[in-house]
C-alpha cells in the first residue's frame, strides 16, 4: 500500500545522506581505532547524537521494544489462553477480568491481541528484510554495473512496479493460497511474505541504485580502485556501508506499512487466517458485528495504528537525524 | 520534447506487455481445473468444456494463449465471462462509478491536503503546523479499511449524518464519505509534500526579492511561492489518479459501490480468469498512461528540467 507514495517521504535521504557519507567515510574508516576524546564522528555517530535528544525517538523505540517483547514472550503480558472460548460470555464489553472484553467466540480480546503481535510483527519484519536484501542487491548490481545490465534490471523493476499493489497481492495470494485449502500456518505466512516482497522490491532497488550511482564516482571509490581494489571489495567495503542509510530508513517505514498491509490482506480473506491469531484476522472477524459491538474492531485496530505509527515515527526520526540539511 | 515523449512511449511498450503477461500467467497458469466450480454440483458438460477450451486455447501453452488474447484485445474484444456476459459491457457499466469516486477523492484530497500543507508550510512550528504533522502521521498509520469502517460506523450508523452505503445510481453527494476515505492517505502525503516544498521555497532568493520589491504578501504567496511549490504536488496528484482508479477495492467493498475494484475482487473470488485479466489490463494501462502524462507535465511545468 502506498508504496509509490512512501518514496516521496524518503526522497530527501538518498542524495543528502550519501554525500555526507562520502565526505565522512575516509575519516571514519581510517580512524575507527579508539583515539579518545575528539575523534571525528562518522555519519552514524552524528545521527546518534542527534537522535538521543529527541523524545519522539525514545517514545517510538520504547513502543517497538515493547511490541517485540510481546511477540517474543506473549506469556509475560497475559496468563489467559487466547484460544479458550466460552460462548456464554460472547461479545461482553470490557471489564476488570478482560480489559478489552470478549469476542464472538467468548475469547479474551486482550490475550488475543497480545498473542496476535507475533504473526503481525514476524510477517512484516521478514517481508522487510526480504525486500531490503533483494531490492538492495539488485540495486547495487544495476547501479554499479550500469550499461545494459542496469537497463534490463530497471525495466524488470518497472514491470513489477506497474502492478497495483493490492491487486497484485490479491491475485498472487488467491492463486497460491486459495481460501478453503488447508495449508500449514508456516506455509501461509511464507506466502504472504513472498507476495509482499515480490510487489515491493522495485522501490528498494531504486533507492539503492540511485545512492550507488551518486557514490560510484566519489573520490574514495576512485582512490580504492587506484589502490588496486577489486569490484567485490569496492562494493562490500565502500559502497554498501555508505549507501545503506537511505535504504535502512525506508525499510523502517516499510515495516510499518507491511503491518497495515498484512491486516488488509487478512481482512480481504487472502492473507493469514485462523487458527493463526493476528490483528488483521481479528479485525476481519469483527466486521460483521461492528454495529453492535464496535470495541471488537477498535481495540485490534488501535494496536495496528500504534505499531505502524511507531515504526513510521522511528524511520522519520532517523531520517531527520541523517539529513544534513536539517542540522 | 517530442523525442522525449516518443522515447517514453517506446519504453511503455515492454512494461505494458510484461505486466499483463505476468498477470495472465498468474491467473491462467493456476494449478487446478479452471472449470472446477463453474457449473454447480454436477460439473460442466463436455460440450461446454470443449467449446471453452477451443475459445480460450486452454489446451495450448500459456504463450499461445496470451498471444491470442492480446490479438483479440487489439480488436477491442475483451472476451466474455463463463456465463456469456461481454466483459467490455461489464467494464463499461462499472468503470464510470470508479471514475466518479476517484474524482471525488482527488478533489477532496487536493483541496484539504493543499490547504493544510500551504498553511502549515507558511508558519513552520506554529500550532497549525504541529497539528497538521500529527494528524497526517495518524492518517498514514491508519489502514484504509479501518478508516472506512470507523467513519462508516460513526457518521453513518451512530450519528446518521450520511447514508452508510451508496445507492445503485451512485449520486455524487453520497460519494463524499467514500471519497474522503479513499483519499485520506494521499491527503496526508499531499499536505506533507506541500508543506516541505513551501517551507523550502520560502527561503528562496526570488521570494526575498518579491518581498523587497514591496509586493503585498498575498501576491508573493499566491503568484510567486505557490506556483513554484506546487510542481511536486501536481505530479503527485497525477500519479495518484492512476492509483486511485485501481486501488478502490476496499473502499468500494465497504460502501457497496458497484465499481471496477469490486468487480475484479468478485472475479478473483469466483475464478473468472478472463474478467480479472481484462480489468487488470485496463487498470495497468490507465496507471502507465497517467505516469507518462505526469512525466510530460513535469517537463512542461518546470523548464529547469531538460530531457535528452
- Tell me whether residues A291 and B153 touch, CB distance under 8 A: yes
CB neighbours (10 Å) of residue B172?
11
* A56 part of contact set with chain B, CB < 8 Å: no
Size of interface A-B (CB pairs under 8 A): 130
Q: Is CATH 1.10.3720.10 correct for A43-78+101-326?
A: yes
What residues does each domain of chain A span? 43-78+101-326
Which comes out higher in pLDDT, residue A47 or B108?
A: B108
| Mean pLDDT, all residues of chain A | 79
The top-scoring range by mean pLDDT among A7-16, A156-165, B68-77, B80-89 is A156-165
Residue B66: predicted pLDDT: 81
- Residue A156's Cβ-count burial label (10 Å; 0-12, 13-18, 19+) is middle
Mean pLDDT, range A275-282, rounded to an integer = 84
Dihedral sign computed on CA atoms, order A243, A244, A247, A248: negative
Q: In this predicted model, what pLDDT tens digit does every residue of A40-92 receive, in sequence order?
A: 667 777 778 888 888 888 999 999 999 998 888 887 777 777 777 777 777 77
Residue A134: predicted pLDDT: 94
- Determine the Cα angle at A239 with ends A34 and A7, to 5°: 115
Of A5, A172, A178, the CB nearest to B26: A172
Residue B10 exposure: Cα atoms within 13 Å on the Cβ side? 6
Which of A311-325, B45-59, B204-218, B227-241 is the least confident region? B45-59
Mean pLDDT, range A188-206, rounded to an integer = 90
Residue A125: predicted pLDDT: 93
Q: In this predicted model, what pLDDT tens digit does every residue of B17-67 receive, in sequence order?
A: 888 888 888 777 655 565 655 555 566 677 777 776 776 666 677 778 788
Distance CA A282, CA A301 (A): 9
Residue B108: predicted pLDDT: 93
For A14-57, give the DSSP string.
HHHHHHHHHHHHHHHHHT-S---TTPPP-HHHHHHHHHHT-HHH
Residue A8 has pLDDT above 50, yes or no: no
Distance CA A168, CA A165 (A): 5
Residue A198: predicted pLDDT: 92
Residue A201: predicted pLDDT: 92
- Nearest-Cα residue of chain A relative to residue B253: A268
Which of A23-27, A141-145, B271-275 is the least confident region? A23-27
The three three-digit cell numbers of residue A47, written as one number: 545521527
Q: In this predicted model, what pLDDT tens digit does every residue of B174-208 receive, in sequence order?
A: 888 889 988 888 899 899 889 888 888 888 888 89
Confirm if A178 and A110 have CB atoms less than 8 A apart. no
pLDDT-derived band at A24, boundaries 50, 70, 90: very low
Interface test with A, best of B145, B183, B246, B274 (most A CBs within 10 A): B145
Residue A15 has pLDDT above 50, yes or no: no
Using an 8 Å CB-CB cutoff, list chain B residues near A178. Answer: 32
Query: What is the distance of C-alpha A116 from the center of its chain?
Result: 17
- Tell me whether residues B14 and A301 touch, CB distance under 8 A: no
Amino acid at each position: 500500500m502506498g508504496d509509490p507514495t512512501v518514496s516521496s517521504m524518503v526522497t530527501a535521504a538518498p542524495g543528502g545522506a550519501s554525500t555526507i557519507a562520502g565526505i565522512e567515510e575516509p575519516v571514519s574508516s581510517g580512524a575507527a581505532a579508539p583515539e579518545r576524546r575528539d575523534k571525528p564522528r562518522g555519519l552514524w555517530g552524528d545521527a546518534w547524537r542527534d537522535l538521543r535528544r529527541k523524545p519522539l525517538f525514545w517514545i517510538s523505540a520504547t513502543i517497538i521494544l515493547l511490541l517485540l517483547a510481546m511477540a517474543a514472550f506473549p506469556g509475560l503480558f497475559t496468563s489467559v489462553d487466547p484460544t479458550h472460548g466460552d460462548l456464554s460470555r460472547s461479545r461482553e464489553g470490557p471489564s476488570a477480568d478482560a480489559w478489552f472484553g470478549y469476542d464472538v467466540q467468548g475469547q479474551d480480546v486482550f490475550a488475543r491481541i497480545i498473542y496476535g503481535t507475533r504473526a503481525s510483527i514476524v510477517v512484516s519484519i521478514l517481508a522487510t528484510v526480504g525486500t531490503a536484501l533483494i531490492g538492495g542487491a539488485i540495486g547495487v548490481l544495476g547501479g554499479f554495473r550500469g550499461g545494459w545490465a542496469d537497463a534490463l534490471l530497471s525495466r524488470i523493476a518497472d514491470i513489477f512496479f506497474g502492478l497495483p499493489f493490492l491487486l497484485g497481492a490479491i491475485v498472487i495470494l488467491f492463486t497460491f493460497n486459495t481460501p478453503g485449502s488447508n495449508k500449514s500456518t508456516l506455509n501461509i505466512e511464507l506466502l504472504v511474505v513472498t507476495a509482499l516482497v515480490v510487489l515491493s522490491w522495485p522501490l528498494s532497488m531504486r533507492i539503492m541504485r540511485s545512492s550507488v550511482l551518486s557514490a560510484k564516482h566519489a573520490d574514495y571509490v576512485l582512490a580504492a580502485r587506484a589502490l588496486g581494489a577489486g569490484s567485490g571489495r569496492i562494493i562490500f567495503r565502500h559502497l554498501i556501508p555508505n549507501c545503506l542509510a537511505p535504504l535502512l530508513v525506508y525499510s523502517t517505514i516499510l515495516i510499518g506499512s507491511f503491518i497495515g498491509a498484512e491486516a488488509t490482506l487478512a481482512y480481504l480473506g487472502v492473507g493469514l487466517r485462523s487458527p493463526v491469531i493476528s490483528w488483521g484476522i481479528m479485525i476481519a472477524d469483527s466486521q460483521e458485528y461492528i454495529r453492535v459491538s464496535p470495541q471488537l474492531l477498535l481495540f485490534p485496530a488501535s494496536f495496528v495504528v500504534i505499531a505502524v505509527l511507531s515504526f513510521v515515527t522511528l524511520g522519520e526520526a532517523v531520517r531527520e537525524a541523517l539529513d544534513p540539511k536539517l542540522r | 520534447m517530442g523525442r522525449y515523449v516518443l522515447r517514453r512511449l517506446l519504453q511503455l511498450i515492454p512494461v505494458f506487455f510484461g505486466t499483463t503477461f505476468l498477470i495472465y500467467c498468474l491467473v491462467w497458469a493456476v494449478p487446478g481445473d479452471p472449470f472446477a466450480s463453474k457449473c454447480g454440483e454436477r460439473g460442466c458438460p463436455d460440450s461446454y468444456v470443449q467449446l471453452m477450451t477451443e475459445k480460450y486455447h486452454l489446451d495450448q501453452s500459456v504463450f499461445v494463449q496470451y498471444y491470442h488474447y492480446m490479438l483479440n484485445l487489439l480488436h477491442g474484444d475483451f472476451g466474455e465471462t463463463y456465463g456469456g456476459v461481454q466483459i467490455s459491457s461489464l467494464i463499461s457499466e462499472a468503470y464510470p462509478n470508479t471514475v466518479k469516486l476517484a474524482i471525488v477523492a482527488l478533489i477532496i484530497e487536493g483541496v484539504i491536503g493543499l490547504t493544510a500543507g500551504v498553511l502549515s508550510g507558511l508558519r513552520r512550528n506554529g500550532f497549525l503546523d504541529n497539528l497538521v504533522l500529527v494528524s497526517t502521521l495518524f492518517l498514514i498509520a491508519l489502514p484504509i479499511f479501518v478508516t472506512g469502517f470507523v467513519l462508516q460506523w460513526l457518521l453513518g450508523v451512530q450519528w446518521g449524518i450520511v447514508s452508510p452505503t451508496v445507492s445503485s445510481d451512485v449520486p455524487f453527494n453520497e460519494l463524499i464519505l467514500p471519497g474522503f476515505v479513499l483519499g485520506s492517505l494521499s491527503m496526508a502525503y499531499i499536505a506533507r509534500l506541500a508543506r516541505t516544498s513551501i517551507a523550502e521555497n520560502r527561503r528562496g532568493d526570488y521570494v526575498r526579492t518579491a518581498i523587497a520589491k514591496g509586493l503585498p504578501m498575498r501576491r508573493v504567496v499566491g503568484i510567486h511561492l505557490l506556483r513554484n511549490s506546487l510542481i511536486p504536488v501536481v505530479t503527485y496528484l497525477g500519479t495518484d489518479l492512476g492509483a486511485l482508479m485501481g486501488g478502490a477495492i476496499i473502499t468500494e467493498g465497504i460502501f457497496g459501490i458497484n465499481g471496477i475494484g469490486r468487480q475484479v475482487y468478485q472475479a478473483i473470488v469466483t475464478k473468472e480468469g478472463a474478467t480479472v485479466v481484462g480489468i487488470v489490463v485496463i487498470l495497468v494501462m490507465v496507471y502507465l498512461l497517467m505516469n507518462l502524462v505526469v512525466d510530460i507535465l513535469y517537463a512542461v511545468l518546470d523548464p529547469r528540467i531538460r530531457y535528452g
